[in-house]
């Protein structure tokens, strides 16, 4: 991963917050590895188009792999299927360890997500840029970020970034701006926001969103 501008190298992303994190970082450093600020988990969901309940959706979520070092990330990422090869409809999730990619999870229930819709030909590149930004802690208000999702659909692919607090307007808008900068998002793309409690009410991830350029 190249450093450009003010991007921090992975080796500098070692900010501890808990004793468990301190212990993990110490153990990984002693092993000659480069610890990430957060531990992450990749999840995969093969969606059933006929399913209408959250329970059935939760049953379909499968943990793929977890990692907490630069080396661990590249080992697993290089073996993941590319988005262009995934069937539709499926979801690929990258979330911080301990947070399930569900609206009801305690870390997500008061939050929401920024949504960007892409043509299928370009979604893979933007997804990779987003993954690298999350893993490298390159987005502002990083502690407020829960994870990201790539939703493979028939006519388009959808990227979404989940945050903890939908009512914190400053953090929500700062996250939007950080996403646009990191992805070098063209002005033609419109970003949408939706709180998870609204998704629970209408049982929809991407309908009735708040449009914001």
Q: Note the pLDDT tens digit of each residue in 35-70.
A: 999 999 999 998 766 555 555 677 889 999 999 999
pTM of the full structure: 0.83
Residue bearing tokens 């033609």: 188
Separation between Cα atoms, residue 48 and residue 106, nearest integer Å: 25
Cβ atoms 125, 76 nearer than 8 A: no
Question: Residues 99-112: what's their mean pLDDT?
Answer: 95
When computed from its CA atoms, the radius of gyration of the chain, rounded to whole angstroms, is 17
- Could you give all domains of the chain from N- to C-terminal order, each with its CATH number? 20-205 (3.30.760.10)
In the predicted model, is pLDDT for residue 184 greater than 90? Answer: yes
| pLDDT confidence band for 156 (50 / 70 / 90) | very high
Q: Give the model's pLDDT for residue 46.
A: 85
In the predicted model, is pLDDT for residue 92 greater than 70? Answer: yes
In the predicted model, is pLDDT for residue 181 greater than 80? Answer: yes
Mean pLDDT of the chain: 84
Question: Residues 97-110: what's their mean pLDDT?
Answer: 94
Of 17-21, 192-196, 204-208, 209-213, where does the model show the most confidence? Answer: 192-196
3-state secondary structure of 132: helix
Q: Give the model's pLDDT for residue 202.
A: 82
In the predicted model, is pLDDT for residue 124 greater than 50? Answer: yes
- Residue by residue, DSSP assigns 165-202 as -TT-HHHHHHHHHHHHHHHT--TT--EEEEEHHHHHHH
Q: Give the model's pLDDT for residue 48.
A: 66
Q: Give the model's pLDDT for residue 193.
A: 95
């Amino acid at each position: 991963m190249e450093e450009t501008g003010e991007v921090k190298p992975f080796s500098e992303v070692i900010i501890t917050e808990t004793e468990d994190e301190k212990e993990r970082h110490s153990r990984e450093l002693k092993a000659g590895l480069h610890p990430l600020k957060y531990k992450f988990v990749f999840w995969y969901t093969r969606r059933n188009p006929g399913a209408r309940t959250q329970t059935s959706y939760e049953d379909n979520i499968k943990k793929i792999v977890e990692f907490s070092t630069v080396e661990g990330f590249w080992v697993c990422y290089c073996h993941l299927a590319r988005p262009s090869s995934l069937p539709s409809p499926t979801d690929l999730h990258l979330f911080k360890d301990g947070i399930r990619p569900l609206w009801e999870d305690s870390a997500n229930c008061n939050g929401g997500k920024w949504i960007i819709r892409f043509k299928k030909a370009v979604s893979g590149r933007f997804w990779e840029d987003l993954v690298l930004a999350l893993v490298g802690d390159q987005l502002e208000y990083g502690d407020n970020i829960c994870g990201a999702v790539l939703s493979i659909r028939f006519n388009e692919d959808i990227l979404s970034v989940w945050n903890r607090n939908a009512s914190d307007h400053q953090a929500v808008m700062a996250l939007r701006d950080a996403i646009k900068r990191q992805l070098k998002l063209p002005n033609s793309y419109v970003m949408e926001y939706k709180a998870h409690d609204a998704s629970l009410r209408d049982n929809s991830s991407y309908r009735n969103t708040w449009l914001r350029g």
